[in-house]
C-alpha cells in the first residue's frame, strides 16, 4: 500500500509539472522501471507512455524490450528492438535480435543480425583505446559464438578473458561450446 501511495504521489507531481518531452519520457521510464523491478505488469504501460512522449528515448525502448523478453514475448521484443535499430545501428541490439530470432527458429535472419553486430564491434575495436580493446574482443568472441564459429570465439574469448572484469559469460561459452541455446537462454534471463 505504501508503494502505491508513493507511486500515485509521483504521478500527480509529474503530471502537474511543465516538462519537455525528454524529461517526461525519462520520468515515465523511471516509474516503469520501478514497476518492472517489482515484476508488475504496469511497467509496460509506463514504458509505452514514455516512448509515446519521446520516441527517441532509448532507455524506455530498451526497457520495453527487456519486459517482453522477461515475459517470453519474443515477437513483441523483436518489434521493440526494431524501434531501437531504426534510430541507431546499435551492436547490442543486433546481438539481442539475433538471439531472439534463434530462439524462434529463424536462424538465417539471426545470422544476418550477428554479421551486422560483428561489423559494428570491429568498427568499435578499430577506434578503441588500448584499455578497451579486450572488452571489444570479448564481445566479438561472444558474437562469433552466436554465429557458430567456435574457433574464432574460443580464440577471442581466451585472449581477452584475463582483461575483462566479468568473464562468467566467456567461461560459460567455453564450457558449453556445443549448446548455443543454453547460452542464449542464460543471456535472455
- Give one DSSP letter per residue of 62-92, joined into a string: HHHHHHHHHTT-HHHHHHHHHHHHHH---HH
Q: How many residues are there in the chain? A: 189
- Nearest 5 degrees, angle CA 64-CA 80-CA 173? 85
> Looking at residue 9, what is its pLDDT?
44
Query: Domain extents for the chain?
Result: 1-88, 108-189
| Residues 34 and 52 sit within 8 Å (Cβ to Cβ) | no
> Looking at residue 39, what is its pLDDT?
85
Q: What is the DSSP letter of 128?
A: -
What is the C-alpha R_g of the chain?
19
pLDDT tens digit at each of 189 positions of the chain: 445 445 544 554 455 455 689 999 999 999 999 999 998 899 999 999 999 999 999 999 999 999 999 999 999 999 999 999 999 888 999 999 999 999 999 999 999 999 999 999 999 999 988 888 999 999 999 999 999 999 999 999 999 887 887 778 889 999 999 999 999 999 998
For the whole model, what pTM was predicted? 0.85
Q: How far apart are CA 173 and CA 161, in angstroms?
A: 12
| Residues 65 and 84 sit within 8 Å (Cβ to Cβ) | yes
Q: How far apart are CA 7 and CA 87, in angstroms?
A: 31
156: CB partners within 8 A, 6+ apart: 137, 138, 140, 141, 144
Neighbours of 37 (CB within 10 A): 9
Does domain 1-88 correspond to CATH entry 1.25.40? yes
> Looking at residue 52, what is its pLDDT?
97
Amino acid at each position: 500500500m505504501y508503494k502505491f501511495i508513493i507511486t500515485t504521489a509521483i504521478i500527480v507531481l509529474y503530471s502537474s509539472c511543465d516538462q519537455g518531452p525528454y524529461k517526461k519520457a525519462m520520468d515515465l521510464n523511471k516509474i516503469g522501471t520501478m514497476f518492472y523491478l517489482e515484476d508488475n505488469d504496469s511497467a509496460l504501460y509506463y514504458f509505452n507512455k514514455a516512448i509515446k512522449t519521446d520516441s527517441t528515448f532509448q532507455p524506455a525502448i530498451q526497457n520495453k524490450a527487456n519486459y517482453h523478453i522477461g515475459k517470453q514475448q519474443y515477437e513483441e521484443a523483436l518489434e521493440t528492438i526494431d524501434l531501437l535499430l531504426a534510430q541507431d545501428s546499435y551492436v547490442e541490439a543486433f546481438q539481442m535480435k539475433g538471439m531472439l530470432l534463434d530462439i524462434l527458429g529463424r536462424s538465417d535472419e539471426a545470422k544476418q543480425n550477428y554479421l551486422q553486430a560483428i561489423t559494428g564491434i570491429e568498427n568499435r575495436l578499430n577506434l578503441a583505446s588500448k584499455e578497451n580493446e579486450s572488452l571489444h574482443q570479448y564481445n566479438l568472441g561472444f558474437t562469433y559464438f552466436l554465429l557458430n564459429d567456435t574457433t574464432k570465439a574460443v580464440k577471442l574469448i581466451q585472449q581477452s578473458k584475463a582483461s575483462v572484469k566479468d568473464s562468467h559469460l566467456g567461461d560459460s561459452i567455453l564450457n558449453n561450446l556445443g549448446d548455443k541455446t543454453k547460452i542464449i537462454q542464460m543471456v535472455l534471463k
